[in-house]
Amino acid sequence: MHAALWDEVQGSCDVTKLQKALDGGVEPSVVLDGWTPIHFLCDSRSVDPAARAEGLRLLLQAGFDSNAVDENGWSALHLLCKNKSGEDEDLVQAIQQLLVAKANVNLQTLDNKKSALHILCENEAVSENTLAALLEADPDVNLLDKDGNTPLHYLAENHYVSDRMFSLMLAFQTNVNILNNFQSTPAHYICQNSCATQLMIRDLLKHKVNFNIKNNIGNTPVHYLCENDVVTVDMLKEIMNDKHVNVTIPNALGKLACDYIPSQKADCLAYLQKFVAPNLLPANCNSNATAEIGGEDPSELPEPLRSALVAWNMSLPPFDAGFYNVVSCEATFEPIYDEVQEISRHASENLGESSPAFIAWKKSLEKWRACILLAYAALVPPNIWHQYAEHFQRPVPSDLLKALGKVEAAWKQFPEQTQRRGRFQALADVFTP
């Protein structure tokens, strides 16, 4: 009788013959090579869906354990979720039979600590209905396998993922910001996936995804999306609708996300560059170190000039040394900057806060600061000021914030980076040296 049983669960599973084998008396503890009949039936790819479901019902009714595991900790549910025939046949009925029999949906394998949901999300034959059926059992969607992956990590990497599958997973309180052993979130993987869509990005943002997280090589999800051939302006717009997304984060190679946009995606590059201020974060910067904050070097000045210059530096907008050098060399501002340097030398020779030279020096610094505010307002999009404030740990000056409405109007009138001259002219009267 045992031979007849094994023939059916490893073959096409003729339900009538299976019932006859069971009626002949079979111990529910019987195994073959460590597998129960349920294991074999769930692993087989040559069984009709209805026959598989009915066969499972008969075996479970006969007392076979739905949670029996092999030496690697694999249960029948694990094998069913790994079954590659899901694309050609419906596994829903079989999953439901196992769940009705109290199959442990959160049981993790011994070899790689994967749950049934991990395995199903990794399966390229996964279907929307099969995923929905397993989720109805309320599995722990945030379980970690041995590599620190959640099921969503695998679904995001699966090249057969659909919008509905992604939405189903996110609807079950999935933590979208869990880092695996490679310091990657599911967003890192979906942004590399050729099946990535605008709707998936929108769903991630609805669930508070952090697109600024850097993985073990310094890439954010936006780096990968920009490198993906399926990237579109609409996808990038979806991301940039979140004011917290920072596209000026360099990776381990010092590259920004926009540096990876394919040459044939000129529209994407033009759009994303609106959110990257020129010269503010040079492409060759070292992401392992904080960029040197911009301003004048007070180290060689005597007191009280040194203290005054330190305070003056803190009154500037947040930017790096590269940006400050560019503004200092701007032909329009060069005479004023040269004047500051000349008066500084006189003030160093005539110390004292009440000396005419010191007072003249402070006035020249105020003129120079107005030039810097003008350059910052004209070159750095106001919607990313807060990002630079966080990055350089220097707040946006209050007088610059008071002019925010006029700055936004100038950027609305002249939105392209190539229209900087128009913004300079529109804001010249706002920041008068």
Residue 285 has what pLDDT? 37
| Domain layout of the chain by residue ranges | 1-140, 144-276, 305-427
pLDDT in tens, 346-394: 878 777 778 888 899 889 999 999 999 999 999 888 988 988 888 888 9
CATH assignment, 144-276:
1.25.40.20
Residue 284 has what pLDDT? 38
433 band by pLDDT with thresholds 50, 70 and 90: low
Query: And the tokens for 338?
Result: 């040269």
pLDDT in tens, 12-45: 887 788 888 888 777 888 878 889 999 999 999 8
63 Cβ neighbours under 8 A, 6+ residues apart: 28
Residue 87 has what pLDDT? 55
Pick 93 or 279 by higher pLDDT: 93
Residue whose pair of structure tokens reads 């579109």 in the numeric block: 232
Does the global pTM surpass 0.85? no
* Percent of the chain clearing pLDDT 70 (strictly above): 94
pLDDT in tens, 122-139: 999 999 999 999 999 999
Q: Which of 195, 179, 184 has the alpha carbon at shortest distance from 251?
A: 184
For the chain, what's the residue count? Answer: 433
List the beta bridge partners of residue 35.
Answer: 32
Residue 390 has what pLDDT? 87
418 band by pLDDT with thresholds 50, 70 and 90: low
The sign of the CA dihedral 201, 206, 207, 213 is positive
144-276 shares the fold of 1-140: yes
Pick 239 or 420 by higher pLDDT: 239
Residue 279 has what pLDDT? 47
Domain 1-140 annotated CATH 1.25.40.20 = yes
Pick 193 or 1 by higher pLDDT: 193
Q: Which of 155, 154, 217 has the alpha carbon at shortest distance from 182?
A: 217
Residue 286 has what pLDDT? 36
pLDDT in tens, 97-107: 999 999 999 99
230 band by pLDDT with thresholds 50, 70 and 90: very high
Residue 347 has what pLDDT? 79
End-to-end CA distance of the chain: 98
Contact by Cβ (8 Å): 384, 243: no
Mean pLDDT of the chain, nearest integer: 88
